[in-house]
Amino acid sequence: MCGIIGCVGRGDATLDTLLGGLANLEYRGYDSAGVALANESVTVEKKAGELDALREAVAGQTLHGSVGIGHTRWSTHGPPTDANAHPHQDCTGDVAVVHNGIIENYQSLRDELAEAGHTFASDTDTEVVPHLIEDALADGADPEDAVRQALSRIEGSYAVAVVVAGVDAVFAAREDSPLVLGVSDGAYYLASDVPAFREHTDRVVYLEDGEFARIDADGFSVSSIDGTPHDVTIDTVDWDPEDTGKSGYDHFMLKEIHEQPRALRQCLQGRVDELGASVSLDLDVDIARVQFVACGTSYHAALYGAGLFRAAGIPAQAFYAHEYALDTPPIEDDLVVGVSQSGETADTLSALREARRRGARTLAVTNVVGSTMSRECDDTLYIRSGPEIGVAASKTFSAQLAALNLLALQTVGAGDEDLREVIAALRDLPGDVQAILDSTTAEEVAEEYVDSDGFFFIGRGANYPVALEGALKLKEISYEHAEGFAAGELKHGTLALVTADTPVFAVVTGNDEAARKTIGNVKEVEARDAPVVAVTDGKSDVARYADHVLEIPETHPRTAAVLANIQLQLVAYHVANALGRSIDKPRNLAKSVTVE
C-alpha cells in the first residue's frame, strides 16, 4: 500500500526527484510522507498528512545528499503522526529506513533492543530495522553487511530501502512486497512501483522475493540476502509517462473511465479472429474444473468469469482469496486462477501459493508485467489496460471481464452460445462503450439522488457481479452506504431497508427469465415507493417501471454486463464529485493492497 522511492546519481536534483516520485505514487493511498538524504550525515524530514505538508516542511531548507529515499505511509502500526511517518532512524541518526509490509516479530525484537538500551521514537514495526543495523555496525560490520544481518532477523513481509551516513549507496530488499529498480545512464532508482521513476527511465529490474540490491553511482548489484550474486534481466516498460497524467480531466478516475474503449481494444488486439471464429492466447492449459481467487473489484470479475465457465459446462467457483488461503477446498486437477489488477495483492498471492503447494496449476490474470503473481504463477494472462492511477478500479475491471471472456472462449468454448456472435460482440465492445460515454445521463441521475439515505444495486446472472461492483464503486469514492446483491435476495431481508429515500439500481439486460424475475423485484421496491433506476438495453419492459433509465447498446448477454458497469461507474463518479470527495485517493483505501 505504501510507496517507496530511492535514487542515486541525481546530484542537486535528489530532493526534487524524491518528491516527484512520491507524487507519482500518491495513488497508492497514504496518510504521511517523508524523505531522507545522505552524505556524511543523514537528514530526515517527515510529516503526517498530504505530500504538500512535506513540501512545505522542506521549503527553504538546505537538504543535501547524493543519495536519498522517500516514503508515503498507509498506517498499520500506530496512527498517522509525524513520529510514525517514515523514514525511521537509529539512536545515532546515521541510519534511515523506509519499509512497506508487516514485520511480524517486531515486538520481540523491540523488547530485546529496548532492554539493550535502544530508544524508540514511534509506534511502528519498522523502527526495529534501523536499530538492528545500528547494532551490527557497532559490532564492526560494514554498512552493506549490517543491513543484511538486520534483514536476516526479520520475519514477515517487507520492501525495505536504507541509507547510511558516509555511504553513497542505497540498500534495498524485498520479501512479499513489490520493489523494482530503474536503470538509466548515470542514475539509478528503486521504487515500490514503476510510475515513481518512469519519467526518468523505461528500463527496469523487477526484484524477486529474497533478493537484496545495492544501487550507487557506478551501477547496481542484486544478490540473495546472504550475498550470493544473482543474474537479472533488464526489462523495458512499454507505456509512456504521459499515460499517468490527467490529460485535462478533473480526476484520474474520470480519465480512466473514458480510456475504457482504448483499454478494451488493447486487451482484445491480436487475440480475436472474427473471420476464423477463434481466440488465440499465449496459453496452453487443459481445464476440467477451475477455481478463481481474488479480492474486491477483482473478486467481482472472478464471479463473472466463473459464470462463463459454468455456462460452458465446466465446474467453476470464485473464492475470496483471504478465505481460500485459510480453508482451501479440494483442488485435485483444478486450474486455480488468481485475478488481481496489480499482481501484488497479498491475500491473492497467499491463496495462489497454497494452491501451488497442493500441486495445482496456477494462472495469473493481471495488468502489471513483472508483478509477483506473473512471476510465480505457471501462466499469465495480461489484461493490457495500461497504468491505472485512480485507487478505485475502472478500466481494469472492464478489461478483466473482457480477458476472462477470452480465456473461457479459448479453453472451453462458448457452450450453447454461438461463438461468432460472442466474438462479434467483443469486437464491438470498444465502440459500444464509447457510445455510452457520449450519451450517458448518469450525471443527471447522480444529481437527483446524491442526498439519498442509501443506495441498492440488484442484478441476476452475469449482472449480479455488476451490481456488486456498482455498489462497491459508489461506497469507495462517495463514502455513502451502498449495497449490491443478487436480485432474488431482495425479499430475504434487505427489503426492510427500502424506503422512498433509497434508490434501487436494477441491472436488467435481455428479455429472458432472469430479466423477467428482476422486473418482479423492481415492482417490489416500486410498491414501497423506492425510486428505481434501470440500467438496460431496452429488450425488456423494465423502463416502464423505472423513474430513470440508463441505456446501453444492444449486444450479447456476455458483453451487456460490461456495458452496464460503465453506467454505474459514471453514477458513482458523479455522486462523489457532487459531494466533493477525494475521488482519486479515497480515505483509508490504497491501490495495491500488499498486507493481509
Q: Which of 74-78, 314-318, 328-332, 561-565 has the lowest mean pLDDT?
A: 74-78
Of 302, 582, 553, the residue nearest 425 (C-alpha): 553
- pLDDT tens digit sequence for 197-230: 988 999 999 998 899 999 998 999 999 999 999 9
Domain 240-433 has CATH 3.30.450.30: no
What per-residue confidence (pLDDT) applies to 591? 60
CATH topology of domain 440-596: Rossmann fold (3.40.50)
Nearest-angstrom CA–CA distance, 357 and 257 = 38
Secondary structure, 3-state, 395-433: HHHHHHHHHHHHHHHHHHCCCCCCHHHHHHHHHHHHHHH
From the candidates 47, 475, 585, 591, which is the catalytic residue? 591
Cell of residue 267, nine digits: 486487451
pLDDT band with cut points at 50, 70 and 90 for residue 592: low
For the chain, the straight-line distance linking the first and the last C-alpha, in angstroms and rounded, comes to 11
Cell of residue 228, nine digits: 550470493
pLDDT band with cut points at 50, 70 and 90 for residue 240: low
Nearest-angstrom CA–CA distance, 450 and 458 = 19
Q: Which pairs count as long-range contacts for 218-225, CB under 8 Å and 24+ apart, including other chains?
A: 219/188, 220/181, 220/183, 220/188, 222/181, 225/148, 225/151, 225/152, 225/173
Which residue bears the cell 495488468?
A: 367
Mark whether 591 is an active-site residue.
yes
Helices 557-578, 419-439: inter-axial angle, 10-degree rounding: 20
Task: Answer yes or no: is pLDDT of 107 > 70.
Answer: yes
What per-residue confidence (pLDDT) applies to 278? 84
| Better-scored residue on pLDDT, 247 or 369 | 369
Task: Answer yes or no: is pLDDT of 93 > 60.
Answer: yes
Helices marked H in 153-279: 252-258, 260-268
In single-letter form, the type of residue at position 576 comes to A
What value does the mean pLDDT take over residues 33-57?
92
Domains 240-433 and 440-596 share a fold: yes
β-pairing, 482-486 vs 504-508, is: unpaired
Of 397, 401, 320, 328, the residue nearest 360 (C-alpha): 328
Task: Answer yes or no: is pLDDT of 128 > 80.
Answer: yes
What per-residue confidence (pLDDT) applies to 239? 65
pLDDT band with cut points at 50, 70 and 90 for residue 29: low
Task: Answer yes or no: is pLDDT of 243 > 80.
Answer: no
Residue ranges per structural domain of the chain: 3-237, 240-433, 440-596
- Dihedrals φ, ψ of 50, to 5°? -70, 165
Of 539, 530, 533, 525, the residue nearest 570 (C-alpha): 533
What per-residue confidence (pLDDT) applies to 286? 83
Pick left, alpha or beta for residue 18 (phi over 0 → left; psi -120 to 50 → alpha; otherwise beta).
alpha
Give, for 535, the enclosing helix (H) or strand (E): strand 532-536
Nearest-angstrom CA–CA distance, 448 and 444 = 6
Which residue bears the cell 498486507?
A: 595
Task: Answer yes or no: is pLDDT of 596 > 60.
Answer: no
Nearest-angstrom CA–CA distance, 329 and 289 = 13
What per-residue confidence (pLDDT) applies to 63? 77
What architecture is domain 3-237? Answer: 4-Layer Sandwich (3.60)
What per-residue confidence (pLDDT) applies to 586? 86
| Better-scored residue on pLDDT, 576 or 74 | 576
What percent of the chain is modeled with pLDDT above 90?
70
Nearest-angstrom CA–CA distance, 319 and 334 = 14
pLDDT band with cut points at 50, 70 and 90 for residue 18: very high
What per-residue confidence (pLDDT) applies to 299? 97
- pTM for this entry: 0.76
How many residues would you count in the chain?
596
Rg (CA), the chain: 25
Burial letters for 139-177: b for 16+ Cβ neighbours within 10 Å, e otherwise? eebebbebbbbbbeebeebbbbbbbbbebbbbbbbbbbb
From the candidates 2, 7, 267, 377, which is the catalytic residue? 2
Which residue bears the cell 466533493?
A: 580
Of 95, 85, 94, the residue nearest 130 (C-alpha): 95
- pLDDT tens digit sequence for 461-477: 999 999 999 999 999 99
The one-character DSSP state at 153 is: T
- pLDDT tens digit sequence for 261-305: 999 999 999 898 877 788 889 888 888 899 999 999 999 999 999
Task: Answer yes or no: is pLDDT of 25 > 60.
Answer: yes
- pLDDT tens digit sequence for 476-518: 999 999 999 999 887 787 877 888 899 999 999 999 999 999 9
